[in-house]
A and B are shown apart, each in its own frame.
Chain A
Amino acid sequence: MPLSPEDRFVELTDQPIDADRLTQFVTTPLSGAVILFLGTVRELTHGKRTISLDYDAYPEMALKKMNELVDETAEKWPVQKVAIVHRTGKLELAEASVAIALSCPHRGDVFDAGRFLIDELKIRVPIWKKENWSDGTTEWVHPGADAPSTNPRTEAE
């Protein structure tokens, strides 16, 4: 079933994410299962030490793609409410860069739907992180940037 605008909260923000508020937003009397996923800033990547991350986004397209992901998720699972929030700007270690909260009647579906949302967000939504390494260097993270671009699929296959 399509999810109405009042049953979804999709946002980019340069402010800390209030995860409790998102959990409350998705919890309804009809829910039997609520899940909250937080992606957080990790200090170590392949032995290199991160000081902070900078996130850049293409806001119009990012919000459009996040809403499309919500639509696809609601087609696949009996989702009642969904919240997706992604940070922009500078983030310190252990801060949440992304939060996904959603509710379904049963637990199996919230795990599957939540996994789908975060996996697809990382493939399709135009947001980028820049590593500020402890040795003073910086590096935009572009997975597979040495290979020719192939468009992320936009329809569920």
Chain B
Amino acid sequence: MKITVKLFARASQLTGASEIDVEVDAGASVADFREALEAQHPELKPIAGSLFVAIDSEYSSDEQVIPEFAQIACFPPVSGG
């Protein structure tokens, strides 16, 4: 399935986009998604290990399965304040 991923800060800067598409198998975990993301968007490699994956505005763990129709976002460590 095709996942549209929101990107922020340096992740958005490296790809030149605020949203990208990532193709994963149905039932893919967050870990699977990370692999697919890095393979399909190698420009994210410099920060791939530090990216957070948020599912519907919640921090995810690598074992979680990506639900269909969820809002997915990827971003490096936060620096607000």
Q: Which A residue's beta carbon lies closest to that of B78?
A: A126
Q: Does A145 contact B (CB under 8 A)?
A: yes
- Say how far A132's CB is from chain B's closest CB, in angstroms: 13
Interface size band for A: 35 or more
Contact (A140, B76) CB under 8 Å given A97-B81, A145-B50, A149-B51:
yes
- Say how far B64's CB is from chain A's closest CB, in angstroms: 11
Decide: B50 and A127 in contact? CB cutoff 8 A: no
Q: Does A143 contact B (CB under 8 A)?
A: yes
Give how many B residues have a beta carbon under 8 Å from the other chain's beta carbons. 26
Q: Which A residue's beta carbon lies closest to that of B54?
A: A61
A54 to B77, CA, bound (A): 16
**Interface residue from B47, B59, B73, B81 paired with A142 (Cβ < 8 Å):** B47
Decide: B50 and A126 in contact? CB cutoff 8 A: no
Decide: A86 and B77 in contact? CB cutoff 8 A: no
A residues near B (Cβ < 8 Å) are 39, 55-58, 60-62, 64-65, 86, 97-98, 118, 121-130, 140-149, 151-152, 154
CB-CB < 8 A to A65: which residues of B? 57
B residues near A (Cβ < 8 Å) are 6, 8-10, 12-13, 47, 49-52, 54, 57-61, 71, 73, 75-81
Interface of A: prevailing SS:
mixed
Decide: A151 and B81 in contact? CB cutoff 8 A: no
A146 to B76, CA, bound (A): 10
Q: Which A residue's beta carbon lies closest to that of B61?
A: A151
Sample of 9 more A-B contacts, CB < 8 Å, known A127-B78, A151-B61: A57-B8, A58-B73, A61-B73, A64-B58, A97-B81, A121-B80, A125-B80, A129-B80, A149-B50
